[in-house]
Chain A
């Protein structure tokens, strides 16, 4: 879980509905009264994009929104900076309702509060890496020297040193997305919106870029909204995860909640494919401290089961004491418990 935010900007989405079609607003009441997506489509030829979304994203943490194509995840993230107007509901960013902003306020909000990274990179092809990175500052009207200086810092930070004069077409996909990330970070906004930012990348590069993001987040503590269709990515990055299906949130929680307590069969199907040992943390499955048993080696509560079991095997023990940050023993993990949590449960197990 994230540490308490240090005065950052949180995002509150309340009762958000989006109905696509010529006259979406006319059907909000019907949908709120329980009309289904299929029925709305059949009877009124309107598409229910988002159905009563309520998500609270604390400042300074990574909120992952996971769903398959057509689940409404890309629609949802575009409501945060209002690239898409909602049909009904509120999007509160730092207490301010984005939906109620005038065009000028909205532009200022996008310039200073948010930055976005896109699935297809959406770089300016006629500009070099450096000129792409300065784009946000250029739009803000920052002095040219400052634009370059700040952009260069982030270009270096994302590992594009020496590429600043290349054009996007001269770079590989992974490199291009680093440019996209540098462009967003140069904006220095408290909110970072990442719309399937890594979905177009090769698996290895994707993992690489996830690491880049996690490393950056350790010092930046931005409020990051990360969209993905990949549960592994969601579990690796998300402080909080919301799973979307057909425009509805079907489960919200931490990675531990999702893996150990899937809300329904749909989520369970996804979770079945997950490498549980790398996701589940010791504190999610440990038993109570047992003073009578031998203490065993110490392990931190946020260690993954994978690492903990490895430690037990290499020390030839079958139990460990879980020790919190303050040095107190908060629990005990034994081998059967760890193994049981790591194997995919039959119905009701775990």
Chain B
């Protein structure tokens, strides 16, 4: 009855060989192409370094003013501006200014990258059911695969540092950007699309004058989600050497420093709330035309 209680599995030796072959293959690939892949990501690293340098070396009052201006431009709401500035002041007062600046820099770069990759991909998906059928399962894997698993090959290829951290964060944060762009465009009222067709709009004109503007609120939700997910990855990214609020959290875990962990954790939450309120207020402002409905 042995065969009933233990699942009939592949022969141990075979399984070991299989794993070894894949590992060796990947290692060989790393040795052969690691450098060129690293070179390929060099512009990204430069971008990250510049952005971090800007955030950490600019005098703090200027950063505060910049944040206030951006929050005002996006929301036109004094309470949102006061909330954003207040959060940063509080974080700075508790001694986490520099780490916070590093984290914000990372989040901004990740978000910009996710938007730059996600919107075109989302548009492509919205235009072709075949692309959609192909991309959707990949996005499912990106969202459900535990991040530690894809950290392994990324670290093997690129080592420890900012760029692998960035890639890990983007892999996790990109899917909502793509999905919501696709969804937003697909949800655009067919009647309006038909009207654009009837006036002889080319597909680019349709995209720019009808589909993207009408999908914009949904796309903004995608941006918001992407930012939130990127923030959720801060601690994991810290494990592979990304500096910022994640590193003190890691230190707190290994040394059981409750307060240190709490403070940094709350700082991440504070930034998250700040990003969320500002981006949502901007999203709402984009939809002003929907608000006043004739009775």
Contact = CB atoms under 8 A, between A and B. Distances in A.
B5 interface: no
A91 to B, nearest CB: 15
B4 interface: no
B194 A170 contact: no
A158 B188 CA distance: 28
Contacts of B13: none
Contacts of B216: 126
Contacts of A68: none
B220 to A, nearest CB: 13
A131 B136 CA distance: 36
A169 B210 CA distance: 16
A148 interface: no
B214 A83 contact: no
A140 B288 CA distance: 28
A169 B199 contact: no
Interface residues of B, number: 25
Q: Which of A114, A122, A193 has the most CB of B within 10 A?
A: A122
Interface in B175-196: 189, 191-192, 194-196
Interface stretch (A19-27, A102-110, A209-217, A257-265): A102-110
Contact of B198 (A114, A124, A171): A114
Contact of A167 (B192, B195, B198, B289): B289
Contact of B214 (A108, A126, A167, A171): A126
Contacts of A168: 289
Given A120-B191, A124-B209, A135 B199 contact: yes
B205 interface: yes
A110 B200 contact: yes
A228 interface: no
A122 B201 CA distance: 14
B199 to A, nearest CB: 5
B292 A110 contact: no
Interface residues of A, number: 33
B19 interface: no
A114 B195 CA distance: 12
A174 B155 CA distance: 63
Contacts of B288: 167
A81 interface: yes
A111 interface: yes
B200 A139 contact: yes
Given A120-B191, A122-B192, A138-B209, A169 B293 contact: yes
A122 B194 contact: yes
B24 interface: no
A315 interface: no
Which secondary structure dominates chain B's binding surface? Answer: helix
B290 A125 contact: yes
A135 B192 CA distance: 12
B289 A169 contact: yes
B213 interface: yes
Given A83-B194, A135-B209, A107 B202 contact: yes
B130 interface: no
A108 B294 contact: no
B197 interface: yes
Contacts of A112: 200
Contacts of A111: 199-200
A329 interface: no
B192 to A, nearest CB: 5
Given A118-B194, A138-B209, A187 B290 contact: no
A169 B290 contact: yes
Contact of B195 (A106, A118, A138, A171): A118
A294 B268 CA distance: 101
Contact of B205 (A109, A127, A139, A170): A139
A6 interface: no
Contacts of B291: 169
B199 A110 contact: yes
Contacts of B194: 83, 118, 122
Interface of B: 189, 191-192, 194-202, 205, 209-210, 213-214, 216, 288-294
Given A115-B198, A124-B214, A138-B209, 7 more contacts: A115-B199, A116-B199, A118-B195, A118-B198, A139-B201, A169-B290, A187-B199
**List of 9 A-B pairs having minimum Cβ-Cβ separation, nearest first:** A111-B200, A110-B200, A122-B195, A116-B198, A167-B289, A122-B191, A107-B200, A136-B199, A126-B213
18 contacts: A83-B194, A83-B197, A107-B202, A110-B197, A110-B200, A111-B200, A112-B200, A118-B195, A122-B189, A123-B192, A124-B192, A124-B195, A135-B209, A139-B199, A139-B209, A140-B200, A169-B289, A169-B290
